[in-house]
Amino acid sequence: GRPRVVVIGGGAGGATVARYLAKDGGGAIEVVLVEPAHRYDSCFFSNLALGGFWEFAALGHGYDGLAGVQLVQDWATGIDRDARRVALGGGGSVSYDRLVIAPGIDFVGGAVPGWDVASQQAMPHAYKGGRQIRLLKAQIEAMREGGTFAMIAPPNPYRCPPGPYERVSMVAHLLAQSNPSAKILIIDPKESFAKQALFEEGWQNHYPGMITRIGPDFGAGNIEVRPETMEIVIDGEPEKVDVCNVIPAQQAGMIAVDAGLTDETGWVPVRPEDMRSRLDEAVTVLGDAAAQGDMPKSAFAANSQAKVVAHALRAELTGSTAPAPRYLNTCWSLIAENDGVRVGATYAPAEGKITALDSFVSQPGEGAERRQQTFLESVDWYRAISADIFG
């Protein structure tokens, strides 16, 4: 019969691979997508929803547009790589000729002492889309006057490098309107962060005096949280806060870890030409879960990688020719109304990894018109990428 490709994970990476393989494969390849959710709630643009610039409902996408893809609404619970079989939560299994894994991220256990997923109601991560983002917004809206919003930022590498700082901007935007004496405290284990000069300039301009960031020099590497009492403990000093957004250290989605595909970093090493696992020829891993080189963990990157993957698998399974691999990324961030910034690059395989070629970034001091243009560009991008992923 036809060769079968099983795709685990219907997010930015996996759904794009499934859709392109079914669309461009001319029916020569059987495509099975394993994804437990009926609806994908995108993390991308969730910060804008938090800030009131986007509807929560507009973050949701169904799978009806994936023509020719067999959808298995279930969890993949295990992978037998010798037998080439994926076990399903419902009890069955599905065999593959080639397996694609795009499960996104999971949190590293114990990364923030005092916090685990059982604490996510009191101290939300809001870093996997959906309900957690709405919960965080409700908590911000319920903050007492002059209260403190704290964010525990993650160490590198993590999903969406500018994401926590765009989030801080959106929280500041909300608070500036409804609770202007409130404070934002960022506890950050990193020396520096993505687009730092742009964010800091924007925070000074739009939210003067509201945002404080504590870096590793001031104890941010030595923190603990107490969800029961809403305390954070920096270098042994407890402090009461009103809202605490804990974004823990991250690793590849557990299904990739359990399949033995990750290395000591917790991510899956892949070949830069086609995102194939370095440990298993029959398995491709893309998106956030992959350790590929210079690309950030973003939906744009996952979608770009997916097209290279679809070309490579189609070429291998149908004897066609794949174009030379080229990758693209842009990460936009909104700092305040119409104040958009971006950073991006083109990439190609070189020196055994995906390597950045040309890059660009917004500049401090740009005019308002330019910033608005950048924001509008991001809105166009959201619509275009949603259609490209989900049909």
Looking at the Cβ atoms of 239 and 377, the one nearer to ligand FAD is: 377
Could you tell me which stretch among 101-109, 139-147, 185-193, 231-239 binds ligand FAD (CB under 6 A)? 101-109
* Bridge pairing between strands 69-72 and 39-41: unpaired
Phi, psi for 244 (deg, rounded to 5) = -135, 115
Looking at the Cβ atoms of 226 and 382, the one nearer to ligand FAD is: 382
Looking at the Cβ atoms of 165 and 203, the one nearer to ligand FAD is: 165
Neighbours of 388 (CB within 10 A): 17
> Which of 25, 51, 103, 325 lies at the binding interface for ligand FAD (CB under 6 A)?
103
Q: Pattern 254-283, binding to ligand FAD, x per CB under 6 A?
A: -x----------------------------
Neighbours of 180 (CB within 10 A): 12
Owner of token pair 């694609």: 100
Q: Identify whether the C-beta of residue 11 lies closer than 8 Å to the C-beta of residue 40.
A: yes
Q: How far is the CB of 263 from ligand FAD (least distance, A)?
A: 18
Provide the token pair at 236.
Answer: 């042994």
Q: How far is the CB of 28 from ligand FAD (least distance, A)?
A: 24
Q: How far is the CB of 27 from ligand FAD (least distance, A)?
A: 24
Q: d(Cα 375, Cα 377) in Å, to the nearest integer?
A: 5
**Omega before 124 within 30 of 0, i.e. cis:** no
> In whole angstroms, how far apart are CA 244 and each of 1, 115, 149, 167?
54, 11, 6, 13
Q: d(Cα 56, Cα 63) in Å, to the nearest integer?
A: 18
Q: How far is the CB of 249 from ligand FAD (least distance, A)?
A: 14
Q: How far is the CB of 220 from ligand FAD (least distance, A)?
A: 20
Q: Identify whether the C-beta of residue 79 lies closer than 8 Å to the C-beta of residue 56.
A: no
- Residue 252, interface with ligand FAD (CB under 6 A)? no
Q: How far is the CB of 218 from ligand FAD (least distance, A)?
A: 25
- Residue 386, interface with ligand FAD (CB under 6 A)? no
Looking at the Cβ atoms of 6 and 29, the one nearer to ligand FAD is: 6
- Residue 14, interface with ligand FAD (CB under 6 A)? yes
- Residue 104, interface with ligand FAD (CB under 6 A)? yes
Question: How many residues are present in the chain?
Answer: 391
> Which residues within the stretch 301-360 sit at the binding site for ligand FAD (CB under 6 A)?
302, 331-332
> Which of 21, 76, 136, 285 lies at the binding interface for ligand FAD (CB under 6 A)?
76
**Is 67 in a helix, a strand, or coil?**
coil
- Residue 159, interface with ligand FAD (CB under 6 A)? yes
> In whole angstroms, how far apart are CA 219 and each of 147, 154, 158, 349?
22, 14, 21, 39
Q: Which residue number is nearest to ligand FAD in terms of Cβ?
A: 11
> In whole angstroms, how far apart are CA 110 and each of 63, 117, 384?
34, 10, 38
Q: How far is the CB of 24 from ligand FAD (least distance, A)?
A: 19
Looking at the Cβ atoms of 203 and 267, the one nearer to ligand FAD is: 267
Taking CB atoms within 8 Å and a gap of at least 24, the contacts of 86-89 are 86/6, 86/8, 86/34, 88/34, 89/36
Could you tell me which stretch among 62-70, 207-215, 291-299, 357-365 binds ligand FAD (CB under 6 A)? 291-299
Phi, psi for 390 (deg, rounded to 5) = -105, -5
Count of residues in contact with ligand FAD, rule CB under 6 A: 38
> Which of 31, 46, 139, 344 lies at the binding interface for ligand FAD (CB under 6 A)?
46
- Closest-CA residue to 251 (of 154, 167, 327): 154
Looking at the Cβ atoms of 45 and 203, the one nearer to ligand FAD is: 45
Phi, psi for 70 (deg, rounded to 5) = -85, 115
- Residue 25, interface with ligand FAD (CB under 6 A)? no
Q: Pattern 124-143, binding to ligand FAD, x per CB under 6 A?
A: ---x----------------
- Residue 288, interface with ligand FAD (CB under 6 A)? yes
Q: d(Cα 171, Cα 146) in Å, to the nearest integer?
A: 14
> Which of 53, 58, 68, 75 lies at the binding interface for ligand FAD (CB under 6 A)?
75
What are the residues binding ligand FAD (CB under 6 A)? 8-14, 34-37, 40, 43-44, 46-47, 75-76, 102-104, 127, 159-160, 163, 167, 253, 255, 287-289, 297-300, 302, 331-332
